[in-house]
């Protein structure tokens, strides 16, 4: 047999893998890029909408306000000595129209005065919705031997925009005297509507509930007339930790349309959906072509002296089964065979049926029942069938040999 002629004809008939333009891969890649562009554009639109909503909200949503100062209590001089604590020595109630912004409790009208009272101060606020909040401070030290001042307090959390009823109570808890620094409330109030007739008021409206003064020495503690509201620079204050509440209800917010939350939630949702789709598209692999048999076989049955020469494996791309009595080949469709060749990624894999033995002309030295054939390899099966494999495209490197228990002699 002229192997050169067989090789030339086989090489000409062998299918080769083509690497060319793939419409499916191109469309899938373009779809991924287009989706990514759409997601980026939507994120930019959401970001632009968020910034615009913030600008509009800051410019138009909040009504114009002006900063006002209201004296809640004047300075109270030290009272005469007595052996028993006096209890409540000052209580005053006011109605205050508060806008959105900082509300500060301080001892100076400029917002920088520390609070100091002998012994206890409490600020109760009834808000427009009927809920109450309170702030209190015991100025005594741990041993009740000294009065300690505290910085101006941020009490904004006690108030809601609108009419708030404020009650300041000062209390004496230990003998022998009591006194207090002034108390001022600094807050942002809505600007009055300008009309053709402007009426000025000297003080914000205030309602006196109770006031207790036991001695002539504190007669000056009566509520004094407060001048017209004055404008002060923004003070620096120490925020209070946790104002107490009578009904454990959280501070309510304004009923403005939640434009900020809307855009943030929309941007996050679109981002997550886009990322999930992109990941799914990137995870999808292009279907690889199925391995096919290439090369040819020579078969010889020593017992019956039958032979099959130059069997082109290109005609059995999905596998070839070898049978005896008589010697013949057919497409691999079932497990009833003496030997068979199956296509794998590593090459043509020889599989023999149970009980068959294999001897190869290569120096393998491993017992196995599956073997990846090399170009030019000759295999003897059970001393009867000789198989000669040729494949000019096969690699010269040794193939991986799965050890599955075949007795190689």
Which tens digits make up the pLDDT trace of 300-354? 999 899 998 889 888 887 889 898 889 999 888 876 788 888 888 888 888 888 8
Which class in CATH covers the domain with range 292-390?
Answer: mainly beta
Q: What is the pLDDT of residue 104?
A: 95
Radius of gyration of the chain (CA): 48
Q: Which of 55-64, 157-166, 285-294 has the highest mean pLDDT?
A: 157-166
Q: Are 181 and 107 in contact (CB under 8 A)?
A: yes
| Beta strand 296-301 pairing with 244-245 | unpaired
Q: What is the pLDDT of residue 60?
A: 52
DSSP 336-348: --SEEEEEETTEE
Q: What is the pLDDT of residues 338-353, one digit of tens each?
A: 888 888 888 888 888 8
Q: What is the pLDDT of residue 345?
A: 83
Whether 230 has a pLDDT exceeding 60, the answer reads no
Q: What is the pLDDT of residue 249?
A: 37
Q: What is the pLDDT of residues 366-386, one digit of tens each?
A: 445 678 888 888 888 888 899
Whether 242 has a pLDDT exceeding 60, the answer reads no
Average pLDDT of the residues of the chain: 74
Domain ranges of the chain: 27-61+265-283, 65-256, 292-390
DSSP 141-170: -TTSS-B--B--EE-GGG--SEEEEEEEEE
Q: Which of 271, 403, 381, 389 is nearest to 327 (CA)?
A: 381
Percent helix / strand / coil, the chain, rounded to 5: 20, 30, 50
Entry pTM: 0.38
Q: What is the pLDDT of residues 32-89, one digit of tens each?
A: 677 777 878 888 887 777 777 666 655 555 567 788 999 999 999 999 999 999 999 9
Whether 192 has a pLDDT exceeding 80, the answer reads no
- More confident position, 312 or 241: 312
């Amino acid at each position: 047999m002229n192997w050169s002629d067989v090789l030339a004809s086989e090489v000409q008939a062998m299918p080769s893998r083509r690497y060319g333009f793939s419409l499916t891969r191109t469309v899938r890649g373009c779809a991924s890029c287009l989706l990514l562009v759409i997601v980026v554009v939507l994120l930019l639109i959401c970001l632009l909408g968020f910034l615009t909503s913030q600008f509009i909200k800051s410019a138009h949503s909040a009504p114009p306000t002006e900063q006002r100062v209201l004296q809640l209590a004047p300075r109270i001089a030290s009272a005469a000595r007595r052996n028993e604590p006096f209890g409540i020595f000052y209580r005053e109630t006011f109605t205050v129209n508060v806008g959105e912004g900082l509300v500060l409790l301080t001892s100076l009208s400029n917002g920088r005065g520390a609070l100091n009272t002998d012994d206890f101060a409490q600020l109760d606020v009834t808000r427009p919705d009927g809920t109450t909040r309170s702030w209190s401070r015991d100025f005594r030290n741990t041993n009740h031997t000294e009065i300690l001042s505290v910085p101006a307090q941020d009490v904004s959390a006690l108030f809601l925009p609108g009419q708030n009823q404020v009650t300041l109570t000062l209390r004496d808890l230990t003998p022998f005297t009591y006194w207090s620094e002034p108390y001022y409330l600094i807050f942002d109030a809505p600007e009055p509507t300008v009309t053709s007739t402007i009426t000025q008021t000297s003080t914000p409206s205030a309602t006196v509930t109770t006031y207790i003064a036991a001695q002539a020495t504190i007669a000056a503690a009566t509520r004094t007339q407060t001048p017209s509201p004055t404008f002060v620079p923004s003070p620096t204050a120490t925020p209070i930790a946790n104002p107490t509440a009578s009904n454990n209800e959280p501070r309510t917010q304004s009923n403005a349309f939640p434009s900020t939350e809307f855009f943030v939630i929309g941007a996050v949702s679109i981002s997550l959906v886009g990322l999930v789709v992109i990941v799914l598209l990137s995870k999808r692999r292009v279907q690889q072509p199925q391995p096919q048999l290439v090369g040819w076989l020579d078969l010889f049955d020593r017992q019956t002296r039958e032979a099959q020469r130059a069997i082109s494996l290109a005609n059995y791309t999905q596998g070839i089964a070898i049978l005896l009595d008589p010697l013949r080949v057919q497409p691999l469709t079932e497990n009833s065979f003496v030997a068979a060749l199956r296509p794998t990624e590593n090459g043509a894999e020889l599989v023999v049926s149970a009980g068959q033995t294999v001897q190869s002309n290569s120096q393998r030295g491993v017992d196995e029942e599956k073997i990846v054939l090399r170009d030019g390899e000759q295999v003897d099966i059970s001393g009867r069938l000789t198989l000669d494999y040729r494949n000019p495209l096969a690699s010269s490197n040794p193939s991986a040999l799965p050890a599955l228990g075949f007795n190689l002699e």
